[in-house]
Amino acid sequence: MAVLGIETSCDDTGVGVVANGEVRANLVASQTLLHARYGGVVPELASREHTAVLDRLVEQALAQAGLELRDLDLVAATRGPGLVGPLLVGLSYAKALAWGLGLPFVGVHHLEGHIHGALAAAEDWAPPFLVLIASGGHTHLYDVPAWGEYRLLGATRDDAAGEAFDKVARTLGLGYPGGPEIERLAREGDPQAVPFSVPMRGRAGYDFSFSGLKTAAVRFVQEGYAPTDIAAGFQRVVVASLVGTLERAARATGRRRVVVAGGVAANRALREALAASGLEVVLPPPGLTSDNGAMIALAAESRWRRVPEPDPFDVTAEPYWPLGEAG
Ligand code: KG4
Ligand code: ZN
C-alpha cells in the first residue's frame, strides 16, 4: 500500500511517501528564511510559497521513493488545525490529485500526524498510552485509551512550549526557531545558576504555563545573568514541567507508555529526562519530529488499515479542530 502525505498547515511544505508502513521519501521545503524578517509566519506569504513549490516537491518525493503517480493507493493531506490559507493549498491539491487519479482521499488531523510520526519506529505500540505534544503551537497532554480516542488531560494556558523557546531565544538575541539555539547555548551554561522556578509546580491538574518564563528571562537579562546560564536554567524548568506533569499523569491513569511528539521532542535535555523517568517512552525518529508529510501519510495509512473509508471530497480545512472531535 503506497500513501502520499501532504502537510501545509503552517510554514513548511511537507511531502512524504509511505509504502507498507515504511517511509520511502520525506521532503520538507522550509520557509523559515522567508518569514524570518517579520518575526513570525505571514500566512499569505506561506500560502503563496506552498502553492509555488508543492507540485515540484510531490514529483521529487515520488522519484525518491521510486514510485509513479499510478502506483499510489491513497492520497492524504492535513485538514487542520492550522492556518486556513496554507491548509487549503495542500488540501485542495491532494483532493484534486486523488479525484484525478480515482483514488481515495483522507484528511488528517495535524496532531494525529505528529503521534503517528513518533510511532514510526515503534511498530508494536498500540493504545492505551499517554501522548504529550509539545510544538510551536501546541502543548497538549492526552490519554489515548484506544485508536482514535483522545481524552484531553491538560494543555498550556498561554504559550506553547516551543513558542516559549522561540520567545526566550529572541530575548537572548538568538535566531528562529529558538529551540535548537537555546539548546546549543544551554550546553555551555549552568542550569542551576539562574533562579527560574518550575511553572505550575504543586498545582492540581495537568495544565502547563510558559509565558511567565519569558517575562522572567527578560528580567534575568536585565539583572546581568549570563545568556548561557539563562538558556540552561530556562531549559531546565521547561523540561521539569513537561516531564513532571507526565509522571503525575502516568501515576494517576496507570499508563506506563508515553508518546512524546512535536518539534520540542527534538530537545536533548528533554530526551535525557524522559529516559531517566522510568516511563516507557517513544519519540519520533530524526526527520519525523518537525512538521513533515510522512507523518501525515503514516496517520492516514493507520486509519485506513482500521477503517478503510475515504473522506468525501467536500471536506474542507479546519483551522480550529480539537483532537478527537469530528471535523
Ligand atoms: O512541530 P513543529 O515543527 O511545528 C509546529 O509548531 O507544529 O515545532 C516547532 C517548534 C518551535 O517552536 C521550535 O523552537 C521547537 O519546536 N523546537 C525545539 C527544538 N527544535 C525545535 N524546542 C526545543 N529544543 C529543540 N531542540
Ligand atoms: Zn506540528
C-beta of 13 in contact with ligand 1 (< 6 A) = no
Has residue 91 been placed in a domain? yes
Distance (Å) from CA 166 to ligand 2 centroid: 15
One domain for residues 187 and 225: yes
C-beta of 162 in contact with ligand 1 (< 6 A) = yes
Cell of 132: 504529550
C-beta of 179 in contact with ligand 1 (< 6 A) = yes
82: left (phi over 0), alpha (psi -120 to 50) or beta: left
Distance (Å) from CA 194 to ligand 2 centroid: 30
Ligand 1 pocket, mutate which of 165, 267, 283, 296 (most atoms under 8 A from CB): 165
Per-residue tens of pLDDT for the chain, all 327 residues: 999 999 999 999 999 999 999 999 999 999 999 998 887 899 999 999 999 999 999 999 999 999 999 999 999 999 999 999 999 999 999 999 999 999 999 999 999 999 999 999 898 999 999 999 999 999 999 999 999 999 999 999 999 999 999 999 999 999 888 999 999 999 999 999 999 999 999 999 999 999 999 999 999 999 999 999 999 999 999 999 999 999 999 999 999 999 999 999 999 999 999 999 999 999 999 899 999 999 999 999 999 999 999 999 999 999 999 998 988
One domain for residues 65 and 133: no
Query: What's the structural domain count of the chain?
Result: 2
Has residue 9 been placed in a domain? yes
Ligand 1 pocket, mutate which of 135, 139, 159, 274 (most atoms under 8 A from CB): 135
Give the 3-state secondary structure of residue 77.
strand
Q: What DSSP state is assigned to residue 327?
A: -
pTM recorded for the entire structure: 0.95
Has residue 122 been placed in a domain? no
Give the 3-state secondary structure of residue 109.
strand
One domain for residues 213 and 297: no
Has residue 121 been placed in a domain? no
One domain for residues 19 and 66: yes
Q: What is the CATH number of the domain that holds 141?
A: 3.30.420.40
Strand order in the sheet with 129-134: 151-155, 139-144, 129-134, 257-261, 280-282
Boundaries of domain holding 186: 127-282
C-beta of 235 in contact with ligand 1 (< 6 A) = no
Cell of 131: 501522548
Radius of gyration, alpha carbons of the chain:
20
One domain for residues 112 and 157: no
Q: Is the dihedral of CA 194, 195, 201, 202 positive or negative?
A: positive
